A and B are shown apart, each in its own frame.
Chain A
Amino acid sequence: MSSVVVNNIVKTFKAGKETVTALNDVSFEVAQGELFGLIGPDGAGKTTMFRILTTLMVADKGNATVDGFDVVKDFKEIRKRVGYMPGRFSLYQDLTVSENLGFFATLFNTSIEENYDLVKGIYSQIEKFKDRKAGALSGGMKQKLALSCALIHRPSVLFLDEPTTGVDAVSRKEFWELLRDLQKENITIVVSTPYMDEASLCDRVALIQEGKIMKIDSPSGITKQFGKPLWAFKSKEMYSLMKDLEAMPEVFSVYPFGSEHHVVANGSIENIKQKLRHESLSVHQIEPTIEDCFMDLMKSK
Chain B
Amino acid sequence: MTSEKVISVRDLTKQFGPFTAVDHITFDVHRGEIFGFLGANGAGKTTAMRMLCGLSFPTSGQAMVAGFDLSKDAEKIKQNIGYMSQKFSLYEDLQVKENIRFYGGIYGLTDKQIKTKMEFLLHQLKLEDQAKVLVKSLPLGWKQKLSFSVAMLHEPQIVFLDEPTGGVDPITRREFWSLIYQAAANGTTVFVTTHYMDEAEYCNRVSIMVDGRIDALDTPDALKKQFNTTDMGQVFLQLARRAVRAAD
Contact = CB atoms under 8 A, between A and B. Distances in A.
A138 B246 contact: yes
B220 interface: yes
B5 interface: no
B96 to A, nearest CB: 15
Contacts of A209: 169
B195 A169 contact: yes
Contact of B42 (A138, A165, A259): A138
B181 interface: yes
A258 B240 contact: no
Contacts of A298: 169-171
A169 B167 contact: no
Given A41-B140, A259-B220, A170 B167 contact: no
Interface in A239-292: 239, 255-259, 291
Nearest to B230: A259
28 contacts: A16-B137, A41-B141, A41-B167, A41-B170, A43-B139, A138-B247, A138-B248, A139-B248, A165-B166, A165-B167, A166-B41, A166-B166, A166-B195, A167-B41, A169-B237, A170-B40, A171-B40, A173-B237, A239-B185, A256-B202, A258-B201, A258-B202, A259-B201, A259-B220, A291-B170, A295-B171, A298-B169, A299-B171
B197 interface: yes
Interface in A29-54: 40-44
B98 to A, nearest CB: 16
Interface string B169-204: 111101001000100010000000001111011100
Contact of A194 (B42, B137, B167, B233): B167
Contacts of A138: 41-42, 246-248
A55 B140 CA distance: 27
Given A138-B248, A141-B247, A258 B169 contact: no
A167 to B, nearest CB: 7
A283 to B, nearest CB: 17
